[in-house]
Chain A
Amino acid sequence: MADIAVKVHDLGKRYEIGTRGNGGATMLREALSNTFKTPVTKLASLARRLRSRGPATVAVSSVSPRHIWALRNVSFEVPRGEIIGIIGPNGAGKSTLLKILSRITEPTEGRVEIHGRVGSLLEIGTGFHPELTGRENAYLSGALLGMRKVEIDRKLDEIIAFAEIEKFADSPVKHYSSGMYVRLAFAVAAHLEPEILIVDEVLAVGDVAFQRKCLNKMEDVRQHGRTILFVSHNMQAITRLCTRAVLISHGGIQHDGSAAETAGKYLMASVKTGAERVWSEPLSAPGDGVARLRKVRVRDESGCTLDAIDIRRTFGIEMVFEVLEDGHTLSPAVELYNESGTCVFLSSDVDPVSRGKSRFRGTVTSVAWIPGNLLSEGLFLVTVFLSTVRPLKGHFHQRDAVAFHVVDSFAPDSARGDWDGPIPGVVRPLLKWTNEVSELAGP
């Protein structure tokens, strides 16, 4: 039996521009006047169709400026028990996809098959009413999210305890602090037991401790073999929780692969830099009369270009430059910046083969090897430059030439150890630890 939980086939959703949001509710007058206009437009399109002798083309409506495809030709399958991440820039169509999967809105075309009970968490505190007490809201929200009353009866105390609001369970939630409100809302959601859970950016709220609680709960859910579709902008959460992720942008799937790979693609797209950059036009390439940059890339030891790097693996930053004049002593260097713009290190060529030696015309490929278990996880931007050291003269200096993404795959042999939460720090070296133990008494 093919154990598929969600099957999405050729899904598309078209919005009529101007019908979203409150301002979009049309006036009756407009509708009435449209009723009279429509026959005219229909006749016109019929005439067009007759002239072109073809079938009514979809293109006519899709290029029409009154429509916008929020989602188009989206197909993927989610096997049972998988946690799949859905990432992409704002407005890419992620929320539309979740809304279709949660049956909140209908697709315009395509088909979805869902095997199992679905619970969706598209916001925190669905159905909460400010005048109702915490206890009452737990019932209301629980029922709306798909719990049975007997189920809520059974779990109510647990929910109240999880939310840590025992003292206030019987006061209206409008008197709650925002933290209490969010905790209660999440506690209700966390006690849902659907076979398929759809979660949208819920983790964006709350403090670090709370986010951690959410992540742990999802981990817990995963261990119970449930399927989760998880939308987030938090790439670390995605790579930590999901085995696979799809990147959605401009209403379509741009990439479908391992979570690390997809997160890398997304981060790269967001910095508009890839793992490889080639300057094919020698004249426009960075450089001067002495040397010009031709190519920079991030590679592994076997020579493959890659943008997502396992935190434990050695990899290299390779730059290829052309020497145009004989007799210069050239020193290539790389500089690494992390997501927050901190310089992680600067390193220049110390290879005895080339260090301090005069160069001759030709092409040079130099690689700076970065050992595994050095960088922490996240996105890194690479700046490369080439200079003559004595007297100091720069030949090229290319900022943000390439970018790559270090992924912590949660392997047991990484510097992470047994801790599964976020780890601060610019670097994450695997240090040698020693212990001396003096035991008081043996058994």
Chain B
Amino acid sequence: MPKKMAEDLSHGVSIASEVPPEVPVSDPPGLPLLITVIEPSRGWVPLKLSELWEFREVLYFLIWRDIKVRYRQTLLGAAWAILQPFMTMIVFTIFFGRLAKMPSDGAPYALFAFAALVPWTFFANGLTQSANSLVHSGNLITKVYFPRILVPMGRVLSGLPDLGLSLLVLLGMVWWYGLFELRGRLLWLPALAFLAFITAFGMGLWLSALNVRYRDIQHAVPFLAQIWLFATPIAYPSSLLQEPWRTIYSLNPLVGVVEGFRWALLGSAHAPGLSLAFSTLAAVVLLVTGAYIFRRIERTFADVV
């Protein structure tokens, strides 16, 4: 700012509106101005993935906020991340493992259940949180622009530290049971977690978008999560099912995730190749359809939320 102008400002001198002030051009020359065109859209619209990249910092801050806020003003703090799957594991071990004598493919039942509950908790929390994410972010959606897809995406991703923590506990448990080995299979874990993310995010896209218009969704989600829990081999091994049902069953992407986790950590005999392929396919379909549906309904969010 030129010194003269700075002085003028500090003295609060105004410039008569008839005399337009000298306008210093704000853009460095040669820098092209961003041109945005706003028009009504119809039907299916492109996903505009480049825009997601452009707004990556918003995503970062949304995740950061969720993580910062999640365990504020709690006594146990981040311990909750571990307690959730851990308590469920204890309950399952007592009722399914001890009382119902559920088979566990040769692994200790507690470990068998916990290896499934760790990715499941990440998925189930991601699903529930993202399904309600848009409705809960009404104040943002009606006041500021950014790609709305970042809202459910951020919600699912903010579960990652929790997943990391409980995964550490899981590894500790595997070691405690004396089953820990440095196997190449362990490298599959991030890919499996990614599959769980895609599934939760794909479902989150569908549910959050529909939830904006139909609030029935928020009542249906807990129920959906419960059904899904039993449609996934968490408390029981999928070896209980016969082919061809078992293959059809693996269209539930979580089947691939859970079997993959057990295979990578507990050293189950056979690799879940086929069911993993089916699960991945189903998850990708879920994600792509979810993204298009979301983009299609997106234009009405601010008016309806």
By a beta-carbon cutoff of 8 Å, the part of chain A in contact with chain B is 15, 19-20, 24-28, 31, 81, 99-118, 120, 122-123, 126-127, 129, 131-132, 136, 139-140, 143-145, 148-149, 172, 195, 216, 219-220, 222-226, 240, 242-243, 259, 409-412, 418-421
Contact = CB atoms under 8 A, between A and B. Distances in A.
Interface of B: 5, 9, 11-18, 20-21, 23-27, 33-41, 57-58, 60-61, 64-65, 68-69, 72-73, 140-146, 212-216, 299-300, 302-305
Contact of A100 (B9, B33, B38): B38
A336 to B, nearest CB: 26
A29 to B, nearest CB: 8
A317 B293 CA distance: 64
B16 A122 contact: no
A63 B17 CA distance: 43
Contacts of B15: 410
Nearest to B20: A243
A408 to B, nearest CB: 10
A122 B141 CA distance: 11
B141 A20 contact: no
Contacts of A127: 140, 144
B304 A24 contact: yes
B23 A136 contact: no
Interface of A is mostly: loop
Given A27-B216, A129-B65, A109 B21 contact: no
Given A107-B39, A123-B143, A220 B65 contact: no
B186 to A, nearest CB: 34
A421 B14 CA distance: 9
B35 A113 contact: yes
Given A102-B144, A107-B40, A409-B17, A115 B33 contact: yes
B135 to A, nearest CB: 8
Given A20-B304, A132-B68, A219-B14, A126 B144 contact: yes
B213 A420 contact: no
A117 to B, nearest CB: 6
A136 to B, nearest CB: 7
B116 to A, nearest CB: 32
A195 B33 contact: yes
Contacts of A101: 38
Contacts of B69: 129, 131-132
B67 to A, nearest CB: 11
A31 B214 contact: yes
Contacts of A110: 39-40
